[in-house]
Each structure stands twice: as C-alpha cells, then as structure tokens.
Amino acid sequence: MTPLAATENLVVEYRSRGRRLRALDDVSLALAPGESLGIVGESGSGKSTLARALLALVAPTAGLVRFKGEDLATLSKAALRRRRRELTLVFQHPAASLDPRLTVGESVAEPLTVHEPALDAAARAARVAALLERVGLDPSHAARRPHQLSGGQCQRAAIARALITRPELVVCDEAVSALDASVQAQIVNLLLGLMRTEHLALVFISHDLAVVRRIASRVVVLYRGQLLESAPRGALYERPRHPYTRLLLDSVMTLEGRPSRAAGTPPDVESPFARPAGCVFAGRCPHVLARCQSERPPLETTEEGATVACFRWREGVAR
C-alpha cells in the first residue's frame, strides 16, 4: 500500500551568515493512512523543519518528500495548492497562529475561500459553525477575536481551521506544548477523538514523551537532524534500543520526586553548525566507543520492526 506521506533520505540545509546548517540529515520515514506517527526531539533536532518539509513549506536540499506517492517538489504551484487541502498544520502557539485582526470565524473559514470558492458566505458560516461545535467551541465564539479567547480555545479554533477542508493528514507541531496541563489533556482527548471520527492520519511532533506515547502508535526519535530510532510505541517505551532514547526516557520526572538518572549526562555544548564525522550523539553517550567518533552508524532493523542507528544496540545498552 502506498504510504500517505513519506520522506526519502531527506536533507534540509539552511544558510546562516555564509555557514550551512544541516537541520535534517538523511531522514526517511513513512506514514500510512489513518496512522499516527510521533516525532520526538529536543531543540535542534530538526523536528520543526521536518513538519514544514512534509507540508512543502520548506524545500528539500536533497532527498524527497512524497504525499500520496507524488514528489511535492515536482508539483506545479496550482497542484501544490490543491494538495494543501488534504495536508494541514496546527502550530505551537495558539494565539499567534490566528491573525489578531480577524475574527476566529474568518480565520477558520479562510481555507474554504481558497479551496472551495464556490461556497457563498452563508454556506461557509454553516461549515464553520458545525466544525467549531465538533472541536468543543461554542459557535458564538466565531465572532470573537483571538485575544478574547483562552489558549485552549484558540488551539481548538486552530484545529478547526486545520480540519475544515477535510484533510487526510494533520501535522501537529508542538500543538499542546504551550498549554496548561489540564487544557493539554482536553486537547489530547480531542485529537484522539477526531482521529477516530474523521479517519485522520496524524504526525504529532513534541518533546514531551508522555504526550507522544498517548497519541502516537509509532514513534521516531530525532537528534540534531538525524533519525536515531524508530519503533512501534510499545517497543520504544518499554524496550528502547538507542542510548539517546534511554536518556530521554530517564529525564522524565515523576511525582515520586526521585532525581532522574539522566542528571549525570553531559549537556549538549556543540555548535549546531558542527557536523561530526561519527555518531551525532557520541559526545554525550555513556556507551561511546572509539568507532562511534569516526563512523556514522547505519540504520539497522530489529526483530520487532524497529530501526536504530547505533553500533551497540544488540548489547542492550539502552536498558
């Protein structure tokens, strides 16, 4: 079956003051229709760049991004615009992603003006009202401006906007990270419900492992632009293979209040422009070998269908 969305050896580089920054370095992944994929990474991991590459908001320097089998870079402007109705994005900061000068209703309706211009104002308003109810907002909120709504309400509106064209894939870039815990929980429930009823595929990007675990059925771990591990949820959380995944899991604190095992790991002090010859995690890895510094470990597949880029994964270093 053709994956709904996929990247093949994707490389994205930015130029900054004459230097090149490799935000994504040879990342390949695939997503089936209706599947939820979690992308976990910290700052500098390239996760936001990956979100934008999937939506063709940023052009690949090398490699491909496919949607429904087509290479997005080869599409004409008009064809790409048509694809945008099937492929939408929810941003991190709820109020910032809505134009402060427009009412919520106008922001939510905007994709319709682009993709379904035949609709008249009344029809659009009806669609907006129906969708606002679906995401848990009172339809009267359509007349309000973003600054009159709470963070959770703004994010619901942003989700409504992402859904109004009935897309097949929604990319959520840290969509719940800026929300309070109680509101976060509401939005997570909303996304899970919508995935079921709208048959959506979801790419959920976050640094919060616990939230990703609840939403995604498969998880990919990025570090400094490289894919270090990819596994089905159960395997990743219970039997991680890569030392970095282990570090991430160890960093999560609990109400028990015990200091985390991750505390002793040296911080990442390398410049984001640095391109190490070997494994990108070698500088911080507690299990580093000499080989790790000079050779980049290839992606290998485990018996559980996971992939991991580490020379020592078979030894169970990530337990």
Partner 1 sequence: MKLGISARAGLGILALTVLLAIVGPFFSPWHVEQLDWARMAAAPGLAGGHFFGTDRLGRDLFVRTLAGVRVSLSIAGLATLVSLVVGVGYGALAGYAGGRVDALMMRLVDVLYSLPYVFFVILLTVVLGRQPTTVFLAIGAVGWLTMARVVRAETLRLRSLEFIEAAVAAGVPTPAILWRHVVPNLAGVVLVYATLTIPGLILLESFLSFLGLGVAEPAASLGNLLAQGAQEMESAPWMLLVPCVFLVTTVLALGFVGEGLRDALDPHER
Partner 2 sequence: MHSIPMSAEPLLAIRDLSIAFGGGTVAVEGVSLALGRGGSLGLVGESGAGKTQLALAIPGLTPRAARRSGSIRFDGAELIGATPAALRKLRGARIGTIFQDPAAALAPHLSIGTQLAEVLIAHGLARGAEARRRSQQVLERVHVPDAAARLRQYPHELSGGLQQRVMIACALIASPALIIADEPTTALDVTVEAGIVALLAELTGGGTTALLLVSHDLAVVATLCDEVAVLFAGRIVEQGPARAVLRAPRHPYTAALAAARLTLDSALDEPVAAIAGNPPAPGERLRGCAFAPRCPRALSRCAREAPPLVADGATRFACHAPLPAGTAS
Judged by the rule CB under 8 A, the positions of this chain that interact with partner 2 are 42-43, 150-153, 180-186, 188-189, 192, 207-211, 213-214, 237, 247-260, 262-269
The CA distance from 246 to 240, in Å, is 6
The CA distance from 222 to 211, in Å, is 16
Contact 138/173 with Cβ under 8 angstroms? no
Strands (E), 59-135: 62-67, 70-71, 87-90
**Rule CB under 8 A: is residue 115 a binding residue for partner 1?**
yes
Site for partner 1 in 165-224 (CB under 8 A): 165
To partner 2, the closest distance from the beta carbon of 178 in angstroms equals: 10
> Which member of 9, 71, 100, 189 binds partner 1 (CB under 8 A)?
100
End-to-end CA distance of the chain: 34
Measured from the CB atom, the residue of 65 and 137 that comes closer to partner 2 is 137
Torsions phi, psi of 218, nearest 5?
-135, 145
**Rule CB under 8 A: is residue 84 a binding residue for partner 1?**
yes
Contact letters for partner 1, residues 135-154 (x by CB under 8 A): ------------x-------
**Rule CB under 8 A: is residue 101 a binding residue for partner 1?**
yes
> Which member of 9, 19, 57, 314 binds partner 1 (CB under 8 A)?
57
**Rule CB under 8 A: is residue 59 a binding residue for partner 1?**
no
Q: What is the DSSP string of 211-251?
A: HHHHH-SEEEEEETTEEEEEEEHHHHHHS--SHHHHHHHHH
Closest CA to 160 of 79, 215, 97: 97
To partner 1, the closest distance from the beta carbon of 303 in angstroms equals: 39
**Rule CB under 8 A: is residue 160 a binding residue for partner 1?**
no
The DSSP letter of residue 286 is T
Residue 84 binding partner per list partner 1, partner 2, none, with a CB distance cut-off of 5 to 8 Å that depends on partner kind? partner 1
Residue 145 binding partner per list partner 1, partner 2, none, with a CB distance cut-off of 5 to 8 Å that depends on partner kind? none
Task: List the beta bridge partners of residue 65.
Answer: 7
Return the CA Rg of the chain.
21
Binding-site ranges for partner 1 (CB under 8 A): 55, 57, 80-82, 84-85, 88-89, 91-93, 96-102, 107, 110-111, 114-115, 147, 158, 161, 165
